[in-house]
Chain A
């Protein structure tokens, strides 16, 4: 299997990044929902820096994925109705924007709380905003909304892939799996 994409197939790097990020984003969504409903105390506060560390890891992977996509274009889309192509392109574009925006909003909001962002105990991620309660509240709220929008679009993306696989019966899903 080629590392790079070909005109008809995804390479293993694209596929790996796709599935690792997909699993990571869904896991982080439920992780975030879980900790946002917790009554924080000494036994569970560490989950918040853990969420941030995984979020920063995902942001790094998403950045790599975008750079990889720019330098290594994906195979051409399989035949479909023009409206389906348009819709797919729109969903993909907004998904990429939200995949970047969601952790980035979290990074700004978290920085503005004044708390450090330890990366799994190895080092601290730089804070990109000074301590400011209003900025923290705003961007952590945007972080939550962006995460919800992203999972809604990811759900559409999954349903569309299943539609192509089960109804249209083309190679759209298979070529991201095989």
Chain B
């Protein structure tokens, strides 16, 4: 169980490097989840194979980048039939479209939250998507810790925008993305 320090790292803290710091993901301590509403109740699904690349410029946040690749064949839907539905042609069509990708185009900071604007491609359809992100350092770590951090990324997409329109009566349009990744400096 990861332990998060509750204070957000100040994105413009002193004593930091000038160039963007590249991070890789520690998959053992990372959850790539999404929430969807089935029959009026929230169900949590997950992607079990993914690639997340984060580069943070602590002095000039606009130089930061985030890219995410999710392997759709590893999507789970919270229960057996949810998983089968999620990978089926009616939703992610995992055989035809093995990846969901997100590539940031701009990163801006406001308060304790960064806003990431980028393009997401689902089922071969690319649309703009805005995500929000927060960085945390591990509990008990030095206040200037930058090598091992956690990043929380959240956002919402409308599955109908991408042709993932199966089961419209049973499953609501919104998929709420919730990534909590342990990242390590490269």
Contacts and interface: CB of A to CB of B under 8 A. Distances in A.
Contact of B39 (A43, A48, A113): A43
Interface string A133-164: 10000000000000000000000000000000
B147 to A, nearest CB: 41
Contact of B169 (A39, A43, A113): A39
Interface stretch (B11-19, B79-87, B98-106): B79-87
Nearest to B78: A42
Binding site of A, secondary structure by majority: helix, strand, loop or mixed?
A: loop
Contacts of A116: 80-81, 84
A99 B33 CA distance: 45
Contacts of A41: 38-41, 170
Contacts of B22: none
Given A115-B81, A115-B84, A42 B39 contact: yes
B139 interface: no
A78 B93 CA distance: 59
Contacts of A133: 89-90
Contacts, number: 40
B7 interface: no
A114 B81 CA distance: 10
Interface in A111-136: 113-116, 118, 131, 133
Contacts of B85: 115
Interface string B151-178: 0000000000000000001100000000
A49 B81 CA distance: 9
Contacts of B115: none
A19 interface: no
Nearest to A39: B39
A43 B85 CA distance: 17
B92 to A, nearest CB: 12
Contacts of B79: 42
Interface string B64-100: 0000000000000001110011001110000000000
A45 B39 contact: yes
A40 interface: yes
A138 to B, nearest CB: 16
Interface of A: 39-45, 48-49, 113-116, 118, 131, 133
6 contacts: A39-B39, A40-B170, A42-B43, A43-B41, A114-B84, A116-B84
